[in-house]
Structure 1
Amino acid sequence: MTETLSELTGTGPRVLPYDPFDPAFHSDPYAVYRTLRETSGNVIPTEAGYAVLGHRELSAVLRDPRFGRGDGAGVQDTYIPTSEGQSRVVMFMDPPDHTRLRSLINKAFTPRMVEAVRPLAEKFAADLLDRLRRESGGAPVDLVAEYFRPLGAYVLNVLVGVPEKYLERCIEYGNDAGRGLDPNYTLSPKELEARIAAREGYVEISLELIAARRAKPESDLMSQLVAVEQDGDRLTEVEVLTTAANIFLAGFSAPQAMMGVSTLALLRHPGQLAWFRANPEHTARSVEELMRYDSAVQLINRTVLENAEIGDTKVKAGDEVFMVLGAANRDPEAYDRPEELDLTRPSVRHLGFGHGIHFCVAAPIARLVTQVALTTLFRHEVDPVTLTPPTNGAVAVRSLAELPVVLGPTR
């Protein structure tokens, strides 16, 4: 996004057809999306561009090379400090740079590598819950601060190869980077300062780790990024650094958000929770439906790189496109009974991780950590203190600020 805060909030040209800072919207964005779809359709012109709510239209945009990241202020807000100055990460690049880097990253970042972390994640989650239950003495436990955030940081650190001594520091960075996809102008000065400090902290840890893995490779992701080669091409030092930072930024905030909203959805639907507990062999499919039902990443944007169309709407080069993933994931043209949470839904092709060449690089991490978090948590009795906890107010990622529960014994 390239507009000012006043433009987002409605005192200038309206970026979005809804107010992303309205507490009522954060409480239930889907009611707003439903009304917009019924009154204005799936492609809605705004004073700053076009908002896209439809699954079909949004999928087409994400596959179309005529739409990309561009060079607007929204992209520049994501730059990482390196020895070559402020550098962009792969998720905010366009081809051909994106094509080259993503190919090398995919070669290093394999599903097998992610899956190898599962046993460690399961043990960490089980031990953490046992300790929280024991130490709480029946008092409420905030799952966001005391379970989701440490679990997400631990899994990411093990995968990348970050030393255990940095775990607490990375948990704090994960909190400070929790609005990582929101443009700078939507943050308070204190929030912006914390975000910058978190990014600089990721860079500091990554530089130390890159040097260590060049001297002594291990079996972690950083070692693979340092060593990966394809047709004689390798990642440069800065590219390894920005890729690591990309994985940190994407791998902390979105999985933490997914764990929270997915847990809340199950607590609000006791029948679905009972099915989830009774059918552990379908955990992976259940998590996909939970991601569709309440999407962690609600909003992403693209710039029109050359004249194109979105459905029947013609758009011009330079136009901004605001893609409402949360709305697309409840599009009645794409899903039967879209407003219902149904863990037995036979096929879930959601857009929670995007689509096309920019499909989220951290998706395997998010899937694994959410599966582990839910299956381990719901071996316990879990009594929510509230079913309407506050969100963190982010524009792009729907994340709970807290989720207090009373942890009971294992079932």
Structure 2
Amino acid sequence: MTETVHSVSTEDLPEVLPYDPFDPEFHSDPYPTYARLRAASGPVIRTAAGVAVLGYQEVNSVLRNPKLGRGEGAGYQDTLIPTPEGLRPAVMFMDPPDHTRIRALVSKAFTPRAVERLRAPAEELAAKLVAGLAAETAATGSVDLSSRLFRPLGAGVLNILVGVPERYLADCIEYANDAGRGLDPAYTLTPDALRNRLKARDGYVAIAQELIAERRAQPADDLMSELVLVEQDGERLNEIELLTTVANIFLAGFSAPQAAMGLAALCLLRNPAQWEWYRDHPEEAAGSVEELMRFDSAVQLINRTALEDTEVGGVPVKEGQEVFMLLGAANRDPQAYEDPDRLDLSRRGVRHLGFGHGIHFCVAAPIAKLITEVALNALAAYDIELRDSTPPTNGALAIRSLAELPAAVRPRT
């Protein structure tokens, strides 16, 4: 079911983004670039492919505009999932009416009960992992929070939610490293990275097929069984819809929470006063996580295609043109947030756009927030010392994640 790998020369590509997607300085810290672009060109920038949108209100408007959808424009092939019936989109990459029907069914499985029942086992796993980090620090002097905490915690929680057997977890974590660039344009990937991305999709699909068959034969108390059995007004997910939905949960669930946890932890460790505020205000943890996700968004870039002629922030967009939304820029828009480049865990009010908005708002957002809060709470019980204040990222454009986060973890004194 693997897709064909095509290599594209960057000289032959139109300018689709207003910045250099290969610039290591941009990957290390994209926010100065966003600020320069906004100051020079405003909240909407014309490109050869369409427009790039940096403003909060303008992005919000795009996400609610029915004339802007997924379509089949640039990047559409990058989102497809291999199935026995060929390449198919997941629900998050569909337009109404298919999106409306399938999302209604999927949402019934992501109940508040399903999310909240993750908290206690997640806290237990996080406490165990961080205690292990402290022991490892005592022996070696340093640990990598990304590989030793964020990846296994994210995978462990997804295992509890979906019901992924232990025998698959190692493969799922390995695939997550390559699937983390799953939403990036293919031309930004090396041939090896592209092959690895496709290998990860094939791997997740194969695991999903096995688990779906198992749950059909013997349902359990997990999300997989809920999706197999979910029904509304006589409608159920067909086999391909179920397969792409489960594969998409794997593709996003094993990489996005890891990204969110790492960026949030790095923000706090770089801001000791805010780290102490977090410790001193445990009742504000949920609100603090929202601010951390605004300040450094895991999801930086999403796109839409004009399904008919429309406009974005007063700029005309013709049918078929692309609209690239720079969510990280929108979440630092001074028109929406006072002093947006300052991390302020007591900040409340305007909701960030890190999980989108409108009909495509991320259905699993409560889970990502819960996992991030649990990870930070576990770390807050220890003294954490950064070994590298500018750790490398994974080089992705869409989901920005830390490749590693070296630190020392010691019992609090």
Instruction: Normalising by structure 2, report the TM-score.
Output: 0.95
Paired with 1:64 and 1:135, the residues of 2 have a C-alpha distance of: 51
Asked if 1:62 corresponds to 2:63, the answer is yes
Equivalent in the alignment of 2:180: 178
Asked if 1:98 corresponds to 2:99, the answer is yes
Q: 2:144 aligns with which of 142, 145, 160?
A: 142
Paired with 1:314 and 1:332, the residues of 2 have a C-alpha distance of: 24
Q: 2:271 aligns with which of 269, 276, 279?
A: 269
Equivalent in the alignment of 1:154: 156
5+ unaligned residues in a row in structure 2: which ranges? 1-5
Note the C-alpha offset of 1:180.
1.5
Equivalent in the alignment of 2:337: 335
Equivalent in the alignment of 2:88: 87
Paired with 1:4 and 1:309, the residues of 2 have a C-alpha distance of: 33
Matched position secondary structure for 2:395: coil
Equivalent in the alignment of 2:228: 226
Matched position secondary structure for 2:79: coil
Equivalent in the alignment of 1:166: 168
- Checking the alignment, whether the CA contact within 8 Å between 1:138 and 1:406 is kept in structure 2 is no
Equivalent in the alignment of 1:51: 52
- Checking the alignment, whether the CA contact within 8 Å between 2:306 and 2:317 is kept in structure 1 is yes
Paired with 1:360 and 1:128, the residues of 2 have a C-alpha distance of: 28
Give percent identity, aligned residues only: 64
- Checking the alignment, whether the CA contact within 8 Å between 1:138 and 1:407 is kept in structure 2 is no
Q: Tell me how many residue pairs correspond in the alignment.
A: 407
The code of the aligned residue for 1:264 comes to L
Paired with 2:147 and 2:353, the residues of 1 have a C-alpha distance of: 27
Matched position secondary structure for 1:234: coil
- Checking the alignment, whether the CA contact within 8 Å between 1:382 and 1:406 is kept in structure 2 is yes
After TM superposition, the structure 1 stretch with the greater mean CA deviation from structure 2, 74-83 or 388-397, is 74-83
Paired with 1:90 and 1:165, the residues of 2 have a C-alpha distance of: 27
The code of the aligned residue for 1:243 comes to T
- Checking the alignment, whether the CA contact within 8 Å between 2:74 and 2:322 is kept in structure 1 is no
Matched position secondary structure for 1:323: strand
CA distances 1:136-184 after superposition (whole Å, capped 9, x unpaired): 4142101111111111111112101111221212111111211111122
Equivalent in the alignment of 1:241: 243
Note the C-alpha offset of 1:346.
2.2
The code of the aligned residue for 1:361 comes to V
Note the C-alpha offset of 1:253.
1.6
Equivalent in the alignment of 1:381: 383
Equivalent in the alignment of 2:260: 258
- Checking the alignment, whether the CA contact within 8 Å between 2:21 and 2:188 is kept in structure 1 is no
Matched position secondary structure for 1:74: coil
Matches within 5 A, 1:318-397: 318-397=320-399
- Checking the alignment, whether the CA contact within 8 Å between 2:330 and 2:353 is kept in structure 1 is yes
Note the C-alpha offset of 1:192.
1.7
The code of the aligned residue for 1:131 comes to G
Matched position secondary structure for 1:107: helix
5+ unaligned residues in a row in structure 1: which ranges? none
The code of the aligned residue for 2:390 comes to T
- Aligned CA RMSD, in angstroms, stands at 1.6
Paired with 1:99 and 1:346, the residues of 2 have a C-alpha distance of: 31
- Checking the alignment, whether the CA contact within 8 Å between 2:22 and 2:188 is kept in structure 1 is no
Matched position secondary structure for 1:309: strand
CA distances 1:291-311 after superposition (whole Å, capped 9, x unpaired): 000111111111011111112
The code of the aligned residue for 1:241 comes to L
CA distances 1:358-379 after superposition (whole Å, capped 9, x unpaired): 1123312211111111111121
Asked if 1:26 corresponds to 2:27, the answer is yes
Equivalent in the alignment of 1:121: 122
Paired with 1:373 and 1:344, the residues of 2 have a C-alpha distance of: 19
Equivalent in the alignment of 2:314: 312
Equivalent in the alignment of 2:3: none
- Checking the alignment, whether the CA contact within 8 Å between 2:43 and 2:55 is kept in structure 1 is yes
Paired with 1:82 and 1:35, the residues of 2 have a C-alpha distance of: 43
Q: 1:193 aligns with which of 192, 195, 199?
A: 195
Note the C-alpha offset of 1:12.
4.4
The code of the aligned residue for 1:41 comes to G
Matched position secondary structure for 1:266: helix
Paired with 1:124 and 1:57, the residues of 2 have a C-alpha distance of: 40
Equivalent in the alignment of 1:72: 73
Note the C-alpha offset of 1:4.
8.5
After TM superposition, the structure 1 stretch with the greater mean CA deviation from structure 2, 186-195 or 342-351, is 186-195
| Runs of 4+ residues over 6 Å off in structure 1 | none
Q: 2:301 aligns with which of 285, 299, 302?
A: 299
- Checking the alignment, whether the CA contact within 8 Å between 2:105 and 2:232 is kept in structure 1 is yes
Note the C-alpha offset of 1:317.
0.6
Note the C-alpha offset of 1:133.
2.0
- Checking the alignment, whether the CA contact within 8 Å between 1:126 and 1:376 is kept in structure 2 is yes
